[in-house]
A and B are shown apart, each in its own frame.
Chain A
């Protein structure tokens, strides 16, 4: 008897269990393997043949084998409804539901609370809500957003690729699909299917292939905004963002737009909000600058409008996008983003 033989035997038993579909087969399996004269018991007998050094290892593996098979057998038994099991502690599944006793209300997740508050602010301002797929094609996530192939702008967003079908192989012909790196592809989807005026936000999950750290998480939440109409200007963008910032952080806050670069907007602006903790005087949270970076924005690039079938000579638009996690961290003084995803009840029960 070797460990490999033991492994093969275990896999054999599991395969046999899989094929069982009747009570009779169940009984037969039990008789053959699980009784005192069954095959597993026989293996324990043979433990005597094993050398002293190897015995602990064998014993451990054998015990594991027995536990696994017994657990799987119990599942199968429950599934088929073996009479022996039913009579013991069968319950009548057609009885009415139990009334739910609530000792205290559940706790909102701080991230979702922030997320929902932000969505509500934009709803109040008359933005429609749109959704889009998390698995995207390269075209929508990059191409139509004016990221040329082989352009360093693609480095700004480290991308996860997913296999487009179960038989996918590296180097095959199937086109790549990506986990969207931002909610911006939904901008394109909106413009492809609607005619302006368009005024919507896109809340949702996005993915970045970045090592998980106290400041970054591979999957996080974003809200995107898009307004396209005749005569939309950067002054409109500023107005909407200031209103949003005041509603979220307080009526005293100021915002600051500064030039930046995103392939899908031109002009582009990074938007800072005056630090609502120190009031702009400078503190630890704002790294003594008095400003907190909250979002990226800009006027929709003519290439993006054109790629979505909208004439940039007639229409203009603005877009903005921001992560929810960073703002939630600042609000609740959470220093490690991973705390949000641990879901430790001792943490969540504070909200």
Chain B
């Protein structure tokens, strides 16, 4: 809302500069968003007249000018604008003028010629983007007067933001009251004098729904002359960003800006039978054309102002085309009413129509100011549009509202604020705010809120008022605080696991990404058949909740590929959403945490230590999955082909978004903690990514549970071995379809348990001959150790020979020679 400082001063003294006022209001909770202060913005900028124009001796495009600013010698100013010419009135920035962004005019030499100021363009004055040439001022402007004055901008306009609890501040009167709370000076409203009249009003008012409209007042004026408003009124409205319409409507708007109460003027010739009936639309009307010419569908609950046969206005929101003030209007009826805030808000929302009036009514108008507003408007209209006040004011107010009172215990202020406030100080603040105080009971005062302060209804509200007026700055600073000490054992916290996984991923060279969980349907469906639907999305591209962080990672990978990334190693950790048939969950929506890693393109580049580049593959993806989980604290892992992992609850569509021949599941016991694999061709195509993409998805919640359980169980160290280990390497040739896992299992089973210490495949090799015969060679390291003795050479040989025999018999393996 805009506030004119000049106007504000008519209500109460404002002994502050605009900057100070900004600061004081801000500290009272009235946010000043912007100050339009032409006078200080244009300080040292005056109207000048160009006396002479010569060519600059050293520059083709520059001119030397002499400009008079009234008194003293004309200024010598170098100017580059093509339109500078003798006799022109111009805006002259004198030495010391500040044009913003640190641009201060100084006496200078431009190509050897002295310049004692600057002739400004519109852009330099922040008035428009026009930088074509200097600004040509109207000839009637007097030389030497400040520019702001010449432009008629001597006022300061404050742009103010009001929180929804303070509708009482939505006017000059309201802001004046706040200023008066600071200064302690009185606030005065313009005096109203109405000349009584003999003619009687024929308008009657009936409230059929007093629950939605508890008070309705109005006045009839006969014989007005509708026409344009006088200049002062137009200027006042325009300064506040309102468009003048005619003298009647302009007065109602002026009163709105003045005391905050919305009024509405009807052409009373259009009120059939002179009957104003306030009622719900139910059973009366289903549509209505508002004065903006739009046909509105009415809900049965919408409150209407009607006559005996038709609606005239949507109460508190907008009037109708059928009764608007026209140039030919002679008799008018002015409404000043109170409407129930929740009713206005519901109707305004339903109609999708918000106006200055509805904005105030839905926040809560002032019951008590409505007669003043009505009388003030009436007297102004009679003054500006002529006419005669017809009879008395109508004021239908079946059940007058009682002032709001509440209990206040002075010591509670200290208890809540941590600030000592004396009772005298409290009484002073309450007096400044016109809060009534009844001290009949010493410990519990009874406070009465002013009718306009709808937000004051309990002790805490009064305490906020004290703090606000005394100043939040005066609340002391506590320098230590009692801290409740933890009393439970937490084997693992989410924070701890978050940090482990994050630091490990960063250490593994993966870059952290953050994206929005709101994604497109097509992408969400790649990972889950029925993604959670956003009912009112911003756009079609963000109408589902993500079903996997893979959806985001693939999107990121596509973009970075476009930007030329050769290789990508990225991760994201976050919540994913799915419907679940579980009443415990809010909206039957299950939230899971998932950590995803995406690998694509070059993962190892050529270097003095690496002869060839290496692209992402399944074994690297597997490495990430295993490394992460092991780092979190689970060592016993098993990787199996995804196809053998069965149905996965967390990733029901894994078999479709991963390629089966390049994907694995990583399990700890029965729990599948992660899956890793190549993104299937169809998904890769859907994202339009060129390189093969591998992703790793870790089921964070499951990992957390498994880890927590293992931490509760604890870990005990084993005694260190006393005897040395023996290592033997075997190079074996096998049919290509014998898997590494199979080979490993076979070896482990053919060695006595008490001697087995480890088996590890450390090489794979295929000669052309092997390829053609469908074979490959695997090299295996076998580690043997006894806990009772040093193993003899002979014993080792026996074990190895047995292993080779077994492998030959069961797997058809032979030693490579």
Contacts and interface: CB of A to CB of B under 8 A. Distances in A.
Contacts of B700: none
A239 B563 contact: no
B495 A235 contact: no
Contacts of A334: none
A224 B415 CA distance: 23
Contact of B418 (A99, A161, A235, A268): A235
A71 interface: yes
A152 B739 contact: no
A302 interface: yes
Contacts of A346: 563
Nearest to B553: A343
Among A106, A116, A234, A348, find the residue whose CB has the most chain B CB atoms closer than 10 A. A106
A133 B26 contact: no
- Interface centre among A79, A212, A236, A346, by most chain B C-beta atoms within 10 angstroms, is A79
A179 B516 CA distance: 13
B45 to A, nearest CB: 19
Contacts of A257: 472-473, 475
A150 B345 contact: yes
A44 interface: no
A199 to B, nearest CB: 6
Interface stretch (A1-9, A24-32, A84-92): A84-92
Nearest to B344: A150
Contacts of A302: 458, 460
A192 interface: no
Interface residues of B, number: 129
A112 B512 contact: yes
Given A235-B417, A267-B463, A94 B742 contact: yes
A71 B685 contact: yes
A128 B559 CA distance: 38
Contacts, number: 328
B549 to A, nearest CB: 12
* Interface range for A: 35 or more
Interface string A118-144: 010001011011010111110000000
A47 interface: no
Contacts of B495: 119, 123, 129
A299 B816 CA distance: 78
Q: Which of A75, A129, A155, A209 has the largest count of B CB atoms less than 10 A from its CB?
A: A75
B418 A233 contact: yes
Given A109-B512, A345-B568, A346-B563, A100 B624 contact: yes
Q: Is the interface of A mostly helix, strand, loop or mixed?
A: mixed
B507 interface: yes
A66 interface: no
B508 A95 contact: no
B681 interface: yes
Contact of B508 (A102, A217, A299): A102
A135 B591 contact: yes
B685 A81 contact: no
Contacts of B308: none
A163 B533 contact: yes
Interface in A303-344: 316, 340-344
B306 interface: no
A234 B682 contact: no
B514 A299 contact: no
Interface stretch (A35-43, A51-59, A164-172): A164-172
B486 interface: yes
Contact of A343 (B494, B502, B570, B655): B570
Interface in B442-486: 458, 460-461, 463-464, 467-468, 472-473, 475-484, 486
Given A133-B591, A236-B478, A163 B164 contact: no
Contacts of B486: 128
A285 to B, nearest CB: 14
Given A72-B682, A343-B514, A100 B627 contact: yes
B586 A137 contact: yes
B620 interface: yes
Interface in A194-233: 197-199, 205, 207, 209, 211-212, 217-219, 227, 229, 231, 233
A299 B461 CA distance: 11
Contacts of B565: 345
Contacts of A348: 511-513
Given A102-B508, A343-B556, A151 B419 contact: no
Given A97-B626, A302-B460, A344-B563, A164 B509 contact: no
A150 B372 CA distance: 29
Interface of B: 26-29, 31, 163-166, 341-342, 345-346, 362-363, 415-419, 458, 460-461, 463-464, 467-468, 472-473, 475-484, 486, 493-495, 499, 502, 505-518, 530, 532-538, 542, 545, 556, 559-560, 563, 565, 568-571, 574-575, 577, 579, 586-589, 591, 603-605, 607, 610, 614, 617-620, 622-627, 639-641, 643, 655-656, 659-664, 680-682, 685, 736, 739-742, 744, 760-761, 764, 774
For the complex of A and B, list the 10 residue pairs with the smallest distance between their C-beta atoms, beginning with the closest.
A235-B418, A259-B29, A233-B418, A94-B741, A177-B587, A261-B163, A267-B464, A164-B587, A239-B478, A197-B484
8 contacts: A71-B685, A75-B659, A103-B509, A106-B509, A136-B586, A218-B542, A231-B415, A345-B560
